[in-house]
Structure 1
Amino acid sequence: MSAASCLLTEDQFLCSICLDVFTDPVTIPCGHNFCKSCITEHLETSTMSQCPNCKEVFNRRPGLKVNTFISEMAAQFRQSAQQEASSSSSEQQVSKPGEVPCDVCTGTKLKALKSCLVCLASYCHTHLEPHLTTSGLKRHQLIDPVKNLESRICEKHDKLLELFCKNDQMCVCMLCSVTDHRTHDVVPLKEEYEGKKAELGKTEADIQQMIQKRRLKIEEIKQSVELSDKNADREMAEGVQVFSALKERVERSQAQLIHTLKEKQRETQKQAEGFIKELQQEISELEKRSSEVEQLSRSEDHLHLLQNFTSLNTAPPTKDWTGVRVHPPSYEGTVVRAVKQLEETLREQMKKLFEADLKRVQQYEVDVTLDPVTANPYLTLSDDGKQVYDSDVKKNLPDNPERFSVYSDVLAKQSFSSGRFYYKVQVKGKTDWDLGVAKESINRKGKITLSPQNGLWTIVLRNKNDYQACASPTVILCLQSGLEKVGVFVDYEEGLVSFNDVDDAALIYSFTGCSFTEKLYPYFSPSPNDGGKNSAPLIISPVNHTE
């Protein structure tokens, strides 16, 4: 019997009326078998005695007796099927907390494999079988198991949410589309799902790009810190060498110098560490969002994706790092300024140090030419734009907004809004002049007071021997000899404007702690001709990086 039963299939023991395994099977005259209760009900409700399968009509209602052979076979098949189902269920996973359980299982709930959006139920492997084999159920939409399937039903019309309203950005049912949303742009969930999924892909790519930019910014900051460390180490080594040679008399200055340099270094490191920490925090948030977006983009659950799309489609708030930089502080002249305080005993050492500084500064030398558009009408410029003097004769020039109309001033064509630059000017033979840098917005049509508050950082010569730094208040400069060539060095980020005697390799004056917020232009004034006494030109030196 067991050998024969293994050849039998479920279809052979199914009642064609109830589609279940026979219960009390009976055979009617045409030879077809049915459950006794099923065929009895059929014959009682039909107008004629007719077989449900072959439609054979009987002259009289047939007598019904249970077919014991088929009954025994059906019972054995039912027992075998139950044992198989029990064995299959034991191999399946029992639903754990947080997992979606099968809605059909009684007693121990097995883990659901799929949820049906039509039946609004979740099924384990065994109870999912009809949806995979029965033609009517195959058309149902299956998704990965989800909880709260009732949330997929329209609360107003009790219909499945299967459409999306683009106007209101919400999921709706069929009845909603012809009532409240009848004039709106309504599309199937799948169509909107595909579009939003594509957008999520772009969002994820954008987030990854943002992460990469911030990683590059971290590397840029680290490199800036390394450069700052090298500069600080170099400057500290020179400082130690100088002050060690002077022993006890300069130990205090040496300590102060090292403290100043290390403080700048620490400030740079602290700033960089702060930027890096912020960037790493943003990367962490972006990576978290990227993971969420990636998980959502892989979801096959249309409703879940659309309900979470708005909150995940945009990247979390981040800082715009485009203009953020860690600028190594300028150490040029630091040792020089410290040594200058011991001028009488340290003059020779200071000169050696400044010569070294000057060589480093000269690497930032730029080619500067005068801008005739800005020149006062009394000024005469050379054809190459390198020389300027007051001719004592006013030229007939258009009074354009850029031109200085009151004082004998002129700006360079070149402007600077970041970094460092250096240029040299010959002042030999003059009795009056102004040199320095000016911000773009300085007054060009009226009286100009030379001061940082008015956007000018300059030193001047008055009456042949009166050198001044135009600070607030004015600083009288005590120089050992007259100047013949002046160097001007600017570190925009450091807020430094420094003047030096090129021939004697000596510092003249430094404006420190400046705050630059706009373009800076090299500024020149040869001053009035003074009857020929001050007719010598200011001459901009050509760039020579081999000096």
Structure 2
Amino acid sequence: MAAARCLLTEDQFLCSICLDVFTDPVATPCGHNFCKTCITTYWDGNDFCQCPNCKEFFCTRPKLQVNMFISEMAAQYKQSAQQEARSSSSEQHVSKPGEVPCDVCTGTKLKAQKSCLVCLVSYCETHLEPHLTSSGLKRHQLIDPVENLDERMCKKHDKLLELFCKNDQMCVCMLCSVLDHKMHDFVPLKEEYEGKKTELGKTEAEIQQIIQRKKTKIWEIKHSVELSNKNAERETTEGVQVFTALKESVERSQAELINTIQMTQRKMEKEAEGFIKELEQEISELEKRSAEVKQLSHSEDPLQLLQNFTSLKAAPPTKDWTQVRVHPPSYEGNVVRAVNKLEETLGKLIKKAELRMAQRFAVDVTLDPDSAHPELILSDDGKQVHHNDVKKNLPDSPERFDTCPSVLSKQRFSYGRFYYEVQVKGKTDWTVGVAIESMGRKGKIILNPLNGHWTICLRNEQEFKALSDPPVSLSLKSHPKKVGVFVDFEGSLVSFYDVDAAALIYSFTGCYFKEKLSPYLSPDLNHGGKNSPRLIIHSLPIPLIPLGVKGGQVSQFQAKSLDRRVEKFRFRAAVTYGWKSPFRK
């Protein structure tokens, strides 16, 4: 039979009406086989008898007899197919660790497909079939397979936990609601489940948001570490350069001091050697005369003694050495002068370091043509401006200066620190600084901090002033060719630097910045071509994080870190080289 099973296919045992394996197969006179019930029902629904396959008509309804051979073959095939299906199902659905096993299976436990809350049993696909076909078992409540079904029963009343008590926040059975939880508020377990599931969904969403925020914070911290590493490398390189210069300056000053002392000592020694040589020569002459006198004094010849007495009586002429002194030179002045010179050199290095610190906060500045006075000419890139005697026909908007030949930048700054540089070389008059966003732009403008302007200027080619209230005259050793402007919102500070000399020109302290600030430039009037050179905004390398402008503010930690670096640099110089800087706070 097994050999026959292998040679037969499923199509050979299928009824063409119900498309299932034959049940009580019968044959029509034309030779086609059908389930007895299928062909009978088919003919009952028609006015004539016809084969469903070949459409042959039968004048009289054929008497149908069950074909026992085909019936047995179909039964054998169905049994074999069920065994194969059960075997295949068993292989594919054997319970694995962590899965709920069937409580009915003996031997190898299959994976449960459903659990019955009435029977308190979990069933595999095979043992679940009665609950899907029997009318009595169909009313049982099936759920996805779960373990420990007995825990779903009330320990006190041995009834299914079907309700949720909102007062006591616990699951109860029907008897509990009547006996132990009278007058409490109850909802079906599934209803409370749906509510709690919704709450869990919201909680999960909130947790995901928290996780995302923390991941973002991790990224920020890692990014800060990367920036710190880059800053540390740059700071180390610059620090090595600065302290190498300091070391070379100290060594050079030390060598100069030693050389000066040695030269002074050699000069004194040379002078002393000259005196000694001269004295030794005189002594030699005197010793020679002494020998001649001694020899003459022992002479027995009266004539010889009398003839030579006059020439030998007097001592040979010599220098008067009573006022001659060799004074040891004083070296104290040399040491003081060397230290003062070293301090001046170190001061210049510190100024350069401080300027470099300010330049770390460099921002990109472009001039705003909508604010420029009609007689000002701006370059296409917004980096240059100069005065022209011809007034352009431009709309007189509220943003435009109408009297003062001035212009503001497009950029606005409200926090942190920022720095920019302006070339003023060759000009006889100019004004540079920062101003509040809402500064007056019509008519005569008085520039001072009370009106929201922090600026310095050059007038008549020689008068430098800080435009405070009242203006402060500035005494500069030389005319700056490039002016750096540094603003520190937290420090309430606006400082101006001579970039080439690395020297501080002036600082406004205790500033009150009530609004956003913009770089402010005025090339002043042309003065018949005498003041024709342009004010040029010098482009500097922009730091990795734009500092002070919206969208890229430096952190307070980074800003204070730069202060600490400058102060640490000063302190190390003081400790290492024993000098007190006039710039130290």
Q: Same fold (TM over 0.5)?
A: no
* Structure with max Cα Rg: 2
TM-score, length basis structure 2: 0.41
TM-score, length basis structure 1: 0.44
